[in-house]
Chain A
Amino acid sequence: MYRIIQTVLAMLFLFAAMPQGLRAAEGLRNLVNALGEAKLSAMDEHIAALAKTGEPEVVAILDALGAGNLYARKTDGQVFLTKESGSNLALIDPISGESAGETPKAAMSKIKVNNSVRRAVRAALGGLTLLSPDRAQRLKAAQSVLQTPDVDALDAVENALVAEKDEAVRTVLEQARAAMLLASDRPIEEKKEAVRLLRENGGREALPVLSAALGSAENGLEQDIEAAIASIEQAQEFWNAGQNVWYGLSLGSVLLLAAIGLAITFGVMGIINMAHGEMVMLGAYTTFLVQDVVRTSFPHLFEWSLAIALPLAFLFTGTVGLVLERGVIRFLYGRPLETLLATWGISLILQQSVRTIFGPTNREVGNPFWMSGAFEPGGLTITWNRLWIIVFALAVFAALLFLLKKTPMGLQMRAVTQNRRMASSMGIRTPLVDALTFALGSGIAGIAGVALSQIDNVSPNLGQGYIIDSFMVVVFGGVGNLWGTLVGAFSLGILNKFLEPYAGAVLGKILVLVLIILFIQKRPRGLFALKGRAVEA
């Protein structure tokens, strides 16, 4: 369609007295400047008019409009592309692409965009870049055409299909074409073919297209569409179960991370450590500080900021743990109630001091690019940050297991916790081992904080959200057993996620707690109870 208009416009320009290029540029400039005065509700038409010119400059202009970088000069209404440059705006001429100097922000007024404008921009850009030489851009264009199928663009899509060689782009384009066909007035055979194609290739994206077409479908087509919807939904059921398992694993990995430090301090040492959550919180704040320094001083290292934060968080929270053990907890061994109260008091002190130092509001911890977004194998949606957190939780678990089972340090830790007096008489310095074990548990809570800062708030309350869950996991899995913590975390995670769709988030959580209470009645020592004489001691 726009090709015809393009030709008509071109013909018109030929008739004009001015040189053609100059005249076209002038027309384009008028269209661009019109954006500056347009009302939000009339923007669609202006964008369509711009897109119809088919000029190559339009892509950059629409891009800037969608991103909110298009400004009009207050004095003369000239519209420019802009870039932030300190407190000023660097102006770029929309037609020539040349720099047009800098102005203070106050002299420019931003061209307002809302969601419907952004949608119009997306659709127009999709139409414009379908024939772009860049594969990635074509793919993006095809996807945006698929998201907002517009019957008018059918010809453009069909033209693009003829020229398209790339398999991935073709698939998307064919789906987009099928979606448009359904809304067009083409013959029913072509529509049936379109439904068949959507049924075969389309996942969830095909559902809205099909359901929308169902309302206006002519006789003979309805059954086809209904069958297609049913078949897609059936496939979705299967993927949904897989998706639930994935969500469960991901929740389990978060629980594992939160609980694994506690599996040391509570599970191995038997200290009811209510300040455990605050160690997680301190780890998250360490990440914030590291990112803050990296942002201001070494911006090129930002992608590595989490890697830098890991050892620092471990050292910092480990040291805090060491000080706590030496300063408070060692006087309270064997007195669980006093320990509970003392560590709870410490948790309040830590929370309020962080609140005093950093303020009560959330702190922003950025996600490196490799932790943003999602990918879709089959019908699943897997977000990168969750995937990395699962990997990370398992790595921490493996490292800890190695430390406890294969190193002299781990051997001493186990010896002291299983039989303190015997270990002592064998020449192990039990107070030192106690302090180091507690520091280790705290340090691990700290690195859990680094990971959790990626998915949760970094605020003084961060730890409180995890303390109950952590105890739940450790008690459920079996006190003193790392494998129990692992299995406990993942089974609770998956259980939770399978209950949630039926019972809702609130009731689901309650049900999990009830199940755990019942389970503990039956097996007071958890899933994997320690056996042998050491337990009785």
Chain B
Amino acid sequence: MTIRARVTGAFLAAVLSTTAFNGAFAAEDTIKVGILHSLSGTMAISETTLKDAMLMLIEEQNKKGGVLGKKLEAVVVDPASDWPLFAEKARELVSVNKVSAVFGCWTSVSRKSVLPVFEELNSILFYPVQYEGEESQRNVFYTGAAPNQQAIPAVDYLMENEEVERWVLAGTDYVYPRTTNKILEAYLISKGVKPEDIMINYTPFGHSDWQTIVSDIKKFGSAGKKTAVVSTINGDANVPFYKELANQGVKAEDIPVVAFSVGEEELAGLDTGPLVGHLAAWNYFQSVDSPANAAFIETWKAYTKNDKRVTNDPMEAHYIGFNMWLKAVEKAGTTDTDAVLDAMIGVSVPNLSGGYSTMMPNHHITKPVLIGEIQSDGQFETVWETPGLVLGDEWSDYLPDSKDLISDWRAPMSCGNFNVATGKCGGKGS
């Protein structure tokens, strides 16, 4: 209710400022930042936290005096986990509320639905969630992990440290798991894994009866070779999946599960005692020991007035994206889209794991990859990390369709899908 009220308020304010008092308020005007995260419906479980994180970041920045001498103002809308509504709300944010940048979306399908809007209205979207790659758009900055910043290092870790030879790729049936598994399958085969040692399994959204699949995994794992499960199971389906694993006695020492969609927030609804040792691959864990992270957690707990609130990887992605945007706006001296788009490339800001993340010309960022094991207190403990930073690779080198494509949004190339084989801009995804 309050959000609706706020939205209506913002809407009225926007109408007033653009019609009756056109330009008159410019001096005291604020810089508006759009937040496009579902606050109701199925995705609210994940996205509400990101809305809160953004509001906190904006409040903190305003305490420091805002940017370009102006205060920041958050405009929150609720696309209600409804994909077409994402496009409508995005349009409302950009053309009615005149926001300078939008932070939002979670699922790939919601991102795909807003892409044409940002392109048409020439605005900026920061997308904070790990995703399947195979995309690079002029108006979007991808601060979450591409497959090579999450999935591939995780598989490498299991191959090297756990000597895994047999793989179960289990996922929810939609675009992210399907594409990621396609990339992983190609990668595993290129590493000499036999096709019969790979089992791929998809389940519907919100799947709750995991008995058959878990027992299939057990069966698949009893072929005398070390087996691991790579899970791209999304959201709500994870809790019953892990409960079934625990009940059927699948221990991490025998068949570890490495997940790409399970973070601190998802574990908060689970008794993690029986899950100790199962893995997750992210670019950030709440348990990371760095002064920046300690400060961030403290601010977050104070902001939410809840000592038990956890932080997670997409929050860090917003933290990085927001700070990059601030820096780019200061560098450009304006919030004008084209100027900020130019200024963004090469911007470098501290991340929460103690290093710096840089925005690269393909609109993806560099970050470390961490592998963590679930602990009994619902946190992850980092057991391995990449020696250096990894740059997000938008077009996977392991898929035949995309291995020749690169993206570079600097002039003169300014192309999201440049084919190095043909020397032309265009191809898949154009």
Taken together as a complex, chains A and B put the C-alpha atoms of A208 and B222 apart, in Å, by 5
| Chain A count of residues within 8 A CB distance of the other chain | 64
Chain B residues whose CB sits within 8 angstroms of the CB of A343 once the complex forms: none
B387 smallest CB distance to A (angstroms): 14
Contact indicator A68/B276 (Cβ below 8 Å): yes
- Assess whether B408 is interfacial by the CB under 8 Å rule: no
Contact indicator B269/A364 (Cβ below 8 Å): yes
Please judge, given known A-B contacts A115-B252, A147-B254, whether A68 and B376 are in contact too, CB under 8 Å.
yes
Please judge, given known A-B contacts A207-B223, A360-B45, whether A459 and B173 are in contact too, CB under 8 Å.
no
Q: Which residue of B lies closest to A207 (CB)?
A: B222
Contact indicator A373/B253 (Cβ below 8 Å): no
Contact indicator A122/B222 (Cβ below 8 Å): no
Contact indicator A118/B162 (Cβ below 8 Å): no
- Assess whether B330 is interfacial by the CB under 8 Å rule: no
- Assess whether B265 is interfacial by the CB under 8 Å rule: yes
- Assess whether B299 is interfacial by the CB under 8 Å rule: no
Contact indicator B271/A360 (Cβ below 8 Å): no
Taken together as a complex, chains A and B put the C-alpha atoms of A215 and B271 apart, in Å, by 40
Contact indicator A461/B206 (Cβ below 8 Å): yes
Taken together as a complex, chains A and B put the C-alpha atoms of A10 and B185 apart, in Å, by 54
- Assess whether A505 is interfacial by the CB under 8 Å rule: yes
A159-167, A247-255, A472-480 - the one binding chain B: A247-255
Taken together as a complex, chains A and B put the C-alpha atoms of A506 and B201 apart, in Å, by 10
Q: A interface, by DSSP: helix, strand, loop or mixed?
A: helix
Residues of chain A from 81 to 125 with CB closer than 8 A to chain B in the complex: 110, 112-116, 118-119, 122
Please judge, given known A-B contacts A360-B45, A457-B239, A458-B269, whether A243 and B215 are in contact too, CB under 8 Å.
yes
- Assess whether A509 is interfacial by the CB under 8 Å rule: yes
Instruction: Pick 9 A–B contacts, CB within 8 A, sort by A.
Output: A204-B218, A361-B268, A363-B269, A364-B268, A366-B271, A460-B44, A461-B42, A465-B206, A505-B203
Taken together as a complex, chains A and B put the C-alpha atoms of A506 and B173 apart, in Å, by 8
Contact indicator A362/B45 (Cβ below 8 Å): yes
- Assess whether A500 is interfacial by the CB under 8 Å rule: yes
Closest 3 CB pairs between A and B? Answer: A362-B269, A211-B224, A212-B224
- Assess whether B27 is interfacial by the CB under 8 Å rule: no
- Assess whether A235 is interfacial by the CB under 8 Å rule: no
B306 smallest CB distance to A (angstroms): 9
Q: Mark A196-217, 1 if CB is under 8 A from B, else 0.
A: 0000000011011111101100
Taken together as a complex, chains A and B put the C-alpha atoms of A116 and B376 apart, in Å, by 17
Q: Using CB atoms and an 8 Å cutoff, list the residues of chain A in contact with chain B.
A: 40, 68, 110, 112-116, 118-119, 122, 147, 204-205, 207-212, 214-215, 236, 243-244, 247, 250-251, 254, 351-352, 355, 359-364, 366-367, 372-374, 381, 383-386, 455-461, 464-465, 497, 500-501, 504-506, 509
Contact indicator B44/A355 (Cβ below 8 Å): yes
Of the candidates A362, A458, A500, the one whose C-beta lies within 8 Å of that of B212 is A500
Residues of chain B from 269 to 309 with CB closer than 8 A to chain A in the complex: 269-271, 274, 276-277
Chain A residues whose CB sits within 8 angstroms of the CB of B204 once the complex forms: 505-506, 509
Contact indicator B40/A459 (Cβ below 8 Å): no
Contact indicator A68/B216 (Cβ below 8 Å): no
Of the candidates A115, A205, A208, A458, the one whose C-beta lies within 8 Å of that of B223 is A208
Taken together as a complex, chains A and B put the C-alpha atoms of A207 and B227 apart, in Å, by 14
Chain A residues whose CB sits within 8 angstroms of the CB of B223 once the complex forms: 207-208, 211
Interface centre among B39, B239, B270 (most CB of A within 10 A): B239
Contact indicator B222/A247 (Cβ below 8 Å): no
Contact indicator A112/B381 (Cβ below 8 Å): yes
- Assess whether B161 is interfacial by the CB under 8 Å rule: yes
Taken together as a complex, chains A and B put the C-alpha atoms of A128 and B229 apart, in Å, by 31
Contact indicator B208/A455 (Cβ below 8 Å): yes
Contact indicator B236/A204 (Cβ below 8 Å): no
- Assess whether B243 is interfacial by the CB under 8 Å rule: yes
Taken together as a complex, chains A and B put the C-alpha atoms of A11 and B332 apart, in Å, by 77
Taken together as a complex, chains A and B put the C-alpha atoms of A223 and B114 apart, in Å, by 62
Of the candidates A147, A384, A461, the one whose C-beta lies within 8 Å of that of B236 is A461
Please judge, given known A-B contacts A147-B254, A247-B211, whether A361 and B373 are in contact too, CB under 8 Å.
no
Contact indicator B248/A383 (Cβ below 8 Å): yes
B38 smallest CB distance to A (angstroms): 9
Chain A residues whose CB sits within 8 angstroms of the CB of B207 once the complex forms: 505
A138 smallest CB distance to B (angstroms): 20
Contact indicator A459/B209 (Cβ below 8 Å): no
Chain A residues whose CB sits within 8 angstroms of the CB of B48 once the complex forms: 359-361
Contact indicator A118/B224 (Cβ below 8 Å): no
Interface centre among B216, B224, B246, B274 (most CB of A within 10 A): B224
Chain B residues whose CB sits within 8 angstroms of the CB of A374 once the complex forms: 247-249
Residues of chain B from 39 to 54 with CB closer than 8 A to chain A in the complex: 39-40, 42, 44-45, 48-49
Contact indicator B40/A355 (Cβ below 8 Å): yes
Q: Which residue of B lies closest to A385 (CB)?
A: B247
Contact indicator B256/A115 (Cβ below 8 Å): yes
Taken together as a complex, chains A and B put the C-alpha atoms of A437 and B98 apart, in Å, by 54
Chain B residues whose CB sits within 8 angstroms of the CB of A118 once the complex forms: 252-253, 277
Residues of chain B from 175 to 232 with CB closer than 8 A to chain A in the complex: 201-204, 206-209, 211-213, 215-216, 218-219, 221-225
Taken together as a complex, chains A and B put the C-alpha atoms of A381 and B240 apart, in Å, by 17
Taken together as a complex, chains A and B put the C-alpha atoms of A352 and B44 apart, in Å, by 10
Contact indicator A114/B373 (Cβ below 8 Å): yes
Taken together as a complex, chains A and B put the C-alpha atoms of A120 and B206 apart, in Å, by 37
A64 smallest CB distance to B (angstroms): 13
Q: Which residue of A lies closest to B274 (CB)?
A: A372
Of the candidates B45, B206, B212, B249, the one whose C-beta lies within 8 Å of that of A244 is B212
- Assess whether B24 is interfacial by the CB under 8 Å rule: no
- Assess whether B348 is interfacial by the CB under 8 Å rule: no
Of the candidates A122, A204, A243, A457, the one whose C-beta lies within 8 Å of that of B269 is A457
Of the candidates A114, A364, A381, A464, the one whose C-beta lies within 8 Å of that of B383 is A114
Taken together as a complex, chains A and B put the C-alpha atoms of A352 and B375 apart, in Å, by 32
